[in-house]
Amino acid sequence: MPNFAVSTDSFVVRPVRQDEVVPVQRMGKGPDLSYMSLPDGPRQLNSRMAVGGAVAAAVSQVSGGINEYSLTVWLKKWLGANDAKIKQALLAKGHSAFALQVNYAVGNSFGNQMFMSRDIYLLGTAPSAKEIGSILTPELMFGPKIDDVPNNATKFKYAHLVGERT
């Protein structure tokens, strides 16, 4: 997940912590992942492929990190552009914390992950960050989403963030 812990002159924004939201009621047992423990192929092939793969992995990791950072820059610019709107929403109710939903897409481009910005929404305000669970309900965070249907290589992702005044 991209680093959404950013700060501006007016606000500090971070991803929501697990203890701040109401837990989801789980049911049943998860999938069986034992198929992932199958033995590797011949060791000689693995060692030859590892040398070439290390260089490609390093290049891919650097380019992915730069592209992932673009979402952090996008969030900072959005906070700067909507500074007055957020302050007005906080002052209207006398609150000090707010919740954001960041929508972004992750696609594949020649084996590299590409992070693409979609939209950011101000979900509401709360008296403090500890009470943000009144806005970020399990239905909102984990419920069904009505969205476009992307191609098979693109996945839509959602990040929920908590912001406070500095």
Q: Distance (Å, rounded) from C-alpha 165 to C-alpha 94?
A: 12
Domain locations in the chain? 6-18+45-165
Task: Summarize pLDDT for 65-116 with one digit per residue, the tens.
Answer: 788 888 889 999 999 999 999 999 999 999 999 999 999 988 887 777 788 8
- Which residues make Cβ contacts (< 8 Å) with residue 152, sequence separation at least 6? none
Q: What is the pTM of this model?
A: 0.72
**Cα(22)–Cα(2) distance, rounded to whole angstroms?**
23
Q: What digits encode the pLDDT tens for the residues 114-142?
A: 888 889 999 999 999 889 989 998 888 88
Residue 129 near residue 160 (C-beta atoms within 8 A): no
| Helix (H) or strand (E) segment spanning residue 137 | none
Structure-block tokens of residue 120: 């950011």
